[in-house]
């Protein structure tokens, strides 16, 4: 029993207990140990321990569609009575008819318009309430779980592990910044000021004596691909030493991060677990991973096999 | 001697020892005490203790001109040999002739162009080095002191006091974000990710296999007036509970901050000390304070008289 207790204590003290032993987990631990060991040639002062995480498909599920797109579709249905013209206008017509192929046919332009329109026309405070209310009850169409329960347990442990090692951890997502901020602190332990994302234009004005920030149906900043390094520099002012993603939208973020001086770390989550999650990569509409799968290993990036490297997928598993 | 020692200890333990006793200092202490006292009706959790500070004229000197403008003028002189056409083109012509009135005559457009051009055409890393090198040695034309020694001791104490009370302190300046970031941590104890400012457009690209972020001579975001609440929401995602400024460029930041629910604090530094600094307000080219002087007190804002409220101006005084 003494032996068993010791094993129990060991297991409990492993900050990455949902990760299987192997070279992926070892690469993470080696990197963190190297940059945090005082006197090591690779030592990095805490102020420069910047780590950036993509969100969709890296920290939580993005299939069968981005959670934010599910939110936008719900908003179209909910606000359709105020927009009778939507019955005959794409992309709304397809959404209201439940025709996702029709929506897809409107292309990126249609989808961006859909997101912009459903996310605009209210104040920032109002939008925060709408998004908060929605995420509190919205459920995944297949698992019936809350979306915020479909976050990846190994990645939650990784964030905590980095925090425990005095890293400053940021989300850097193509998703809407104000869609994420209401819940990232509670779900990931990442406060709103450490969330970087895409945004629509806003305006400050005083209405009936009350200052408000209103949201407009026009893109301000797209935090994807080349946009990620730009968003990071704008928000953080430093190049990360570690970056975590899952798709080619993260390629430039990892490229920029891992080409800096000193020890660097890039990691790509590869969705290869058809049994416990969804297997997808080169041909996926959401979270396409093609170039990263070919070039990542050559660039020294760590590719996570969800199937082999993760003991557990979701916190409630 | 026992009495003297006790007085010495008391003086040392006052976190705002450069502030004279009086209602200004008391207002600061009362606010911080109210929002940090557990069980108080005004209690605010640490995550929401957001405080924003303007920089020029609030944390450091802005006379006879913004420090960043002095930097831009130096850049014009230094890089003029590469731009023979500047001899005959405004606003460069005036700058090279040392004719500040001629520069002023080119208006805001001329000055913005000057700043954009002198801050562009290099990578972000190169600019950081140029700005760091300059600020390390550049001196104020009248006092001969380093600009970074011309920061206000009472405001440094105020930042430390807020940090000690678990506030998250941000700079929100009309100045260039990448001009400030190289030195704010060292001078103010505020890290780069907590600096919000104006910016020019940047681009991510790979040059000879090396990823770089290049700077372009076009404005991206002007963090002034209505831009300050927009910049704060974009970077922080929350409305501050306390805001500190010195000019009408801060009006909207204080208006938005102090109109939120719960206890709020707005403070304006009034430059009324002609002997120890410079007295200026309603008619100043830099740091014009007019509306804030009239409306601030009605809105419950605290107006700091540098002359009466501050025992000391600079750290080395
Ligand atoms: Ca992703
Ligand atoms: Ca100012």
Q: What is the pLDDT of residues B68-104, one digit of tens each?
A: 999 999 999 999 999 999 999 999 999 999 998 999 8
The SS3 of residue A220 is strand
Handedness of CA B85, B90, B95, B96 (dihedral sign): positive
Identify the CA nearest to A52 among candidates A213, A168, A166: A168
Handedness of CA B155, B159, B165, B168 (dihedral sign): positive
| Beta pairing partners, B215 | B202
How confident is the model at residue A1, as a pLDDT?
40
Give ion ligand 1 contacts, CB < 5 A.
Answer: A 54, 56-57, 246-247
Q: Write the pLDDT tens digit of every residue in A242-259.
A: 999 999 999 999 999 999
B59 Cβ contact partners less than 8 Å away, ≥ 6 residues apart: B53, B151, B152, B155, B156, B159, B171, B188
Nearest-neighbour CA in chain B from A43: distance (Å):
19
Q: Mutation target for B interface from A211, A216, A257, A266: give the one with most B CBs within 10 A.
A: A211
Residue B291 predicted with pLDDT over 50: yes
How confident is the model at residue A112, as a pLDDT?
83
φ and ψ at A22, to 5 degrees?
Answer: 155, -175
First to last CA, chain B: 27
Q: Write the pLDDT tens digit of every residue in A178-209.
A: 999 999 999 999 999 999 999 999 999 999 99
Residue B2 predicted with pLDDT over 50: no
Domains for chain B: give ranges and CATH numbers: 17-63+146-309 (3.40.50.1000)
How confident is the model at residue A315, as a pLDDT?
96
Number of Cβ pairs closer than 8 Å across A and B? Answer: 88
How confident is the model at residue A109, as a pLDDT?
87
Q: Write the pLDDT tens digit of every residue in A12-30.
A: 689 999 999 999 999 999 9
φ and ψ at A17, to 5 degrees?
Answer: -70, -20
φ and ψ at A266, to 5 degrees?
Answer: -125, 135
Q: Write the pLDDT tens digit of every residue in A73-111.
A: 999 999 999 999 999 999 999 999 999 899 989 988 898
Q: Write the pLDDT tens digit of every residue in B214-240.
A: 999 999 999 999 999 999 999 999 999
Q: Do B233 and A226 touch (CB under 8 A)?
A: no
The SS3 of residue B256 is helix
Q: Do A230 and B204 touch (CB under 8 A)?
A: yes
How confident is the model at residue B12, as a pLDDT?
60
Residue B108 predicted with pLDDT over 90: no
A263 CA to centre of ligand 1 in angstroms: 24
A139 Cβ contact partners less than 8 Å away, ≥ 6 residues apart: A145, A146, A147
CA-nearest residue to B50 within chain A is A193
Q: Which of the four pLDDT bands, split at 50, 70 and 90, describes residue A9?
A: low
Q: Do B252 and A204 touch (CB under 8 A)?
A: yes
How confident is the model at residue A2, as a pLDDT?
46
Q: Is the bond leading into A314 cis (omega within 30 degrees of zero)?
A: no
Q: What angle do CA A199, A48, B175 make, to 5 degrees?
A: 55
How confident is the model at residue A10, as a pLDDT?
53
Q: Do A252 and B202 touch (CB under 8 A)?
A: no
Residue B1 predicted with pLDDT over 50: no
Q: Write the pLDDT tens digit of every residue in A46-58.
A: 999 999 999 999 9
ipTM: 0.94
Instruction: Write out the two tokens for A228.
Output: 């990620």
Mean pLDDT value of segment B105-109: 88
Identify the CA nearest to B141 among candidates B230, B73, B233, B94: B73
Smallest Cβ distance to A213: which of B194, B205, B229?
Answer: B229
């Amino acid at each position: 029993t003494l032996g068993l207790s010791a094993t129990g204590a060991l297991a409990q003290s492993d900050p990455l207990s949902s990760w299987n032993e192997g070279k992926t987990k070892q690469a993470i631990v080696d990197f963190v140990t190297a940059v945090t060991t005082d006197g090591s040639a690779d030592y990095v002062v805490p102020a420069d321990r910047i780590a950036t995480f993509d969100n969709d498909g890296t920290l939580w599920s993005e299939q069968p569609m981005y959670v934010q797109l599910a939110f936008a579709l719900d908003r179209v249905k909910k606000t359709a009575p105020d927009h009778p013209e939507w019955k005959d206008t794409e992309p709304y017509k397809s959404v209201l008819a439940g025709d996702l192929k029709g929506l897809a046919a409107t292309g990126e332009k249609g989808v961006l318009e859909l997101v912009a329109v459903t996310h605009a026309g209210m104040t920032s405070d109002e939008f925060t309430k709408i998004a908060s209310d929605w995420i509190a009850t919205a459920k995944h169409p297949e698992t019936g779980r809350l979306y915020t329960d479909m976050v990846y347990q190994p990645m939650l442990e990784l964030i905590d592990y980095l925090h425990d090692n005095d890293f400053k951890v940021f989300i850097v997502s193509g998703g809407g910044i104000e869609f994420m901020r209401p819940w990232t602190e509670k779900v990931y332990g990442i406060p709103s000021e450490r969330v970087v994302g895409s945004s629509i234009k806003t305006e400050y004005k005083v209405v009936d004596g009350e200052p408000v920030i209103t949201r407009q149906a026009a893109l301000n900043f797209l935090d994807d691909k080349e946009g990620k390094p730009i968003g990071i520099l704008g928000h953080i002012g430093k190049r990360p030493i570690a970056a975590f993603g899952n798709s080619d939208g993260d390629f430039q973020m990892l490229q920029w991060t891992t080409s800096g001086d000193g020890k660097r770390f890039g990691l790509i989550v590869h969705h290869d677990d058809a049994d416990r999650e969804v297997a997808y990569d080169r041909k996926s509409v959401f979270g396409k991973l093609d170039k990263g799968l070919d070039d990542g290993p050559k660039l020294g990036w760590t590719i996570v096999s969800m199937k082999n490297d993760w003991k557990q997928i979701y916190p409630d598993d």
